[in-house]
Amino acid sequence: MSILDAGAVLEGKYEIVRLLGSGGMGDVYLARHLHLDETRVIKLLRADIAADEASQKRFLREARLATQIKHSNVAILHDCSRLPEGGFFMVWEHVEGNALSERLKESGRLPMGDALDLGIQALRGLEAIHSIGVIHRDVAPDNLMTFTNPRGDLRLKIIDLGLARTLAPDAGQEEVTKVGTFMGKLRYCSPEQAQMSEGAVLDRRTDLYSLGVVLYEMISGEAPFEGRGPAVVYKRVSEDPIPLARRVDGLNVPGAVSNVVMRAVARDREDRYPDAVSFIEALDQARSSLSEVATRKIAVAAAAGGGSREGSGVGSGDSPRGAAGGDPGSLSRSGELTREERQSLLAQIDRAAEKVKQGTLVFNRAQEALDAGRLSEARSLIERLEKVSPGSPSLAQMRQALEEAESSASAETRLQELEDMLTRYIKNKQKPLAKLALDSLLDLAPTHPRRSDFESWVELMDEEKEQDERVAKALAAGREALAAGADRKVRRQLDTLRKLHPETAEAFAAEVEAERSQAAAGVEMDELNEAFEADLEKGDLKSAARRLDALEGKVSRLTLDGHRDRLAAEHRRGEREEAESAAAAKLNERLGVRDWAGAREVVRELADAYPESERAREMAEDVGQREGAAQKRAAVEDGERQIESLIAAGDTDQARLALKVLLQMDPENPHRLQLQRQIDALDG
């Protein structure tokens, strides 16, 4: 039974139920834990890429990162192991529900309350991921699982950390992307992720942007940009998103909600929320404002309904508000205006006239700003006028003129940004991105005056790439020959470079010259070093000192200090040898007269002056041995004399005992037989 078949068991406990899907890294299976009787999700690194070291590293990195995250809004990793044939698999929590993408596909968009609740839950999960120094880099509806808990609440969990990456630099963490490409889904990637280049750094705000796009889609059912495919990527780099409140006709989005979402999807990441917590707080406040607005509407409606009366009027017995001074526009009982009512009405007319006058001034200022191209100022003034007279035909015409001017200005800005982007990609020799940028540029301006130039440059990039490869190959071969000392091959590669790329040839020629100068200096330095060693060996310390002066500035300070230490050591060695010779002469004089104390003093002075002297230690041993031998001879001679005295006195027993002691000190004493016969003669 294959490991991919239903019913297969991994490690004796995970039974494969069925294949759920396949991705770029591996296959995903539904499995059952045989012992716990719970469903799990098995993510298996596919066999065709399991042998790739980079893929294995990325797969295992996902596992290591996932084990550090413990949060209710992030799927739990239960296990990770290796298959007998060498592949890897992970065991994830099984979320019984649907991906957010499926929910959006079915309903188009979500109720406002559900969208905000799911957004906050997703942000809490992202905060848990970010808190361990990791960014997800693939926040999209496919990776957000939704489900209903036992209480009936709509819940969300983030899944799939396959593209996650630590924020701290890590030399052991091998990136699988290349310059000019990015990881993640085009529809949800951030502007900085879309234009990743060598040396660029992503941070947690790229995830917040992606979630902002998801939230935008949950609320409106549409993406923040028009269009499909790769061209949309360049829109998010060169254009601001379509305001959420204007994305779909008839869609009522409260200003508080729109402001939060639009900040999240700001093109410049410095304008976005700095972290998930700030995003959560803003979204939570917007959600609270929805409840407050609903409460106020209900209260106002109730108050309006409670204040209405049927049959009210003069004949009803109720006093008109005008008679009481409450409504200055109402007539008195006689049908004529009172003095107070007349004054109030005139004041209203004056205020209305002043309002019209001010409105005319604002209108004129708005028209002037629009004519001068100060579009931001014109928009602000028009919005002020719309609050006063929203149905004015003149204002509607001005609004239309403003939108046309803004559209034109936006198109010019987008055009310039696309030109800059295309130029940068051409300069960096990133043809796929340059081709996409050119397509986007021509979509916006099919008759662009530099169209033929741009198209020619893009087409020439392949030739330039081949040229660069030939230059790089010749340069590498030249450097290899230079390192090997093959001068003829160096010249040949230098000639090739002059034909292919004169600037590179000039730089390589300077490199060759520097290498040769360094080699010549190295030869001179080697010769000086060898001469220095020879001087030391033959003891010519003065000449060695001159060599050392010549090496100043040509070798490292460490090498120079080492040579100086050796020269100083040779000087000391010579001084020590002279001192040892002088001490040896003095020692012989002291030993000749058996002046043991004087001999020891000579040795001590030498040892104190030169502790490293082996000769001093040898002299000390020699003095000790000689003094001991002299003391032994004196003791033997004294013993012989004592025996002879005892024999002369006829004391046989004491004489035998003294002889025995003598032989213990000097077993080979030359007089032992003679002394023994003399003692034996006393007994006879």
Radius of gyration (C-alpha) of the chain in whole angstroms: 50
How many residues does the structure list for the chain? 684
Determine the residue type at 244.
L
Whether 145 and 97 have beta carbons less than 8 Å apart is answered as: yes
Cα pseudo-dihedral 608, 611, 613, 619, rounded to 10: 50
At which residue do the structure tokens 């959560």 appear?
A: 280
The sign of the dihedral angle between the CA atoms of 429, 431, 437, 443 is: positive
SS3 for 76-99, per residue? CEEEEEECCCCCEEEEEECCCCEE
Which candidate, 71, 43, 80, places its Cα nearest to that of 155?
Answer: 71
Of 406, 404, 421, give the one whose Cα is nearest residue 238: 421
Q: Which secondary-structure segment (H or E) carries 321?
A: none
Q: How many CB atoms lie within 10 A of CB 426?
A: 20
Pairwise CA distance, residues 153 & 15, whole Å: 31
Written as six digits, the tokens of 553 are 């500035």
**Distance in angstroms (rounded) separating the CA atoms of residues 159 and 93:** 9
> Is residue 138 annotated as a catalytic residue, yes or no?
yes
Q: Which long-range contacts (CB under 8 A, 24 or more apart) does 610-613 make?
A: 610/576, 610/579, 610/580, 612/576, 613/576, 613/579, 613/580
Answer whether 51's CB lies under 8 Å from 86's CB.
yes
Alpha-carbon distance of 356 to 346, in angstroms, equals 15
Residue with tokens 């037989």: 673
Helices 502-538 + 557-592 axis angle, to 10:
0
CA 402 to centroid of chain Cα atoms = 45
H or E element in which residue 148 lies: strand 144-148
Alpha carbon distance 76, 95 (integer Å):
10
Q: Among the options 117, 138, 207, 535, which is catalytic?
A: 138
Q: Which of 45, 78, 276 lies closest to 162 in space, CA to CA? A: 45
The first and second tokens of residue 106, run together, are 């079915």
Which among 443, 439, 437 has a CA at the least distance from the CA of 419? 437
Q: Known catalytic residues? A: 138
